[in-house]
Amino acid sequence: DQQVKQNSPSLSVQEGRISILNCDYTNSMFDYFLWYKKYPAEGPTFLISISSIKDKNEDGRFTVFLNKSAKHLSLHIVPSQPGDSAVYFCAARKQGAQKLVFGQGTRLTINP
């Protein structure tokens, strides 16, 4: 069963506009959520995270929103830049656990 889902395999956004990537989860035991960015032939790199006690976390151009009642989180990138073109993974962790459960990823393409 897919506990973390990213239903959009791809997203195309114009440079300078806002990119919104979505993620849904099913397990209410998840208490910490992360977004990773991955370029081809490289490992995932950490982007931003949020604890379940918060509903928003911001870091520069990146903001993550968490809606616990809907079991939904989203990553907003504004303004989008060409270097943001990559695959983005949502991941979640159960309380007390070390392992992460990842979504399938969304390929973001920023068009000039």
Binding residues for another protein, per CB under 8 A? 4, 6, 32, 34, 36, 41-46, 49, 89, 91, 93, 97-105
Residue 5 or 61 having the CB closest to another protein: 5
Nearest distance from C-beta of residue 40 to another protein, angstroms = 10
Residue 15 or 58 having the CB closest to another protein: 58
| DSSP states of 25-62 | E--TTEEEEEEEEE-TTS--EEEEEEETT-SEEEETTE
Nearest distance from C-beta of residue 38 to another protein, angstroms = 9
Residue 2: how many other CB atoms lie within 10 Å: 12
| Beta bridge mates, 24 | 5, 72
